Structure 1
């Protein structure tokens, strides 16, 4: 009897992502008509068969488990992007966090926040899966390079934000030190004035 819960190792996740990249146009197709769903289900069966045949798979995973893994990976990526954006927009004092972790393999398959893939779903219905993958190859390469550039830009923005937060932190410390110094000087002057009048 199969266990309902399957804990995937990082190597298994990497293997799964390598497999799903080949089928991204079908897996991320937003159409819900019968033909699209049939093609999508057949594709998930192929993904499951490829994954289970892989030497990196420590145990067999069902199609349902792999679909759930894919949904969880996409959700974690969205949450990481959201956290990174919130961190970038954060102001004030507090601890700085490093750039949220991004899996570039997921970024290559699932674009961020509602951006549809570059293949129209009608193309998937009109052609076979193999033909669709061949026609999508050029667009996928372009999308991959754009997404990789986006990750580099995101990393640079995060580093810049972290440096700005450090500068603000040091400026705040400097301002506090100056205020304390001014307070000490004022106390000294009061003591001197009170000694002179006594």
Structure 2
């Protein structure tokens, strides 16, 4: 039976993040061809050598370091999803501040491609809530083009002339 592995300390994770920030262009490359896979494996072996050369860390294999990195990215994804859920929660007021730790913020910086959201023109709620923290966009910029066209028509005319649909009503319909 294999002996239980020792958990990564906070200091070891910080060392790993420092090394990954230098090797991120290879390690986080999305290509999966043989040449890229070989470069990734070589890069992970270099990270292993640099990691194990430190005096304050437990010697680790590159597969263990890679698994720790994947676990940190998963933890970042879960925390980010929780932040999005909290931002969408009802109740009004200002959205709660993010509770990302410094370590998780560094993970997000190194693997910055994970934070990119694909635009969806059919999801007006997503764009409105994503724009909330900045707060500098007008209501026309926060909705789909067809809704923006309706809003621009009704904003210039009094409520009686527009058939009863004011900005508040259209905003509610989105």
**Shorter-normalised TM-score: what interval?**
0.5 to 0.7
Cα drift, residue 80 of structure 1? 0.6
Residue number in structure 2 paired with 1:47: 47
CA contact (8 A) 1:83 1:100 kept: no
Higher helix share: 1
CA contact (8 A) 2:17 2:106 kept: yes
Residue number in structure 1 paired with 2:105: 104
Change (3 A) 1:3 1:67: farther
CA contact (8 A) 2:108 2:114 kept: no
Cα drift, residue 54 of structure 1? 1.2
Residue number in structure 1 paired with 2:114: 113
Runs of 4+ in 1 over 2 A off after TM superposition: 1-6, 96-100, 112-116
Q: Aligned partners of 1:114, 1:106: CA distance in 2, in Å?
A: 11
Q: Deviations over 1:110-159 (max 9, x none)?
A: 0153649xxxxxxxxxxxxxxxxxxxxxxxxxxxxxxxxxxxxx9x94xx
TM-score (norm 1): 0.52
Unaligned residue ranges in structure 1 (runs of 5+):
117-153, 158-198
Residue number in structure 2 paired with 1:71: 70
Q: CA RMSD in A?
A: 2.9
Residue number in structure 1 paired with 2:122: none
Residue number in structure 1 paired with 2:169: none
Larger radius of gyration: 1
Residue number in structure 2 paired with 1:25: 25
Q: Aligned partners of 1:43, 1:70: CA distance in 2, in Å?
A: 14
TM-score (norm 2): 0.58
Q: Aligned partners of 2:37, 2:88: CA distance in 1, in Å?
A: 40
Equivalent residue pairs, number: 116
CA contact (8 A) 1:81 1:100 kept: no
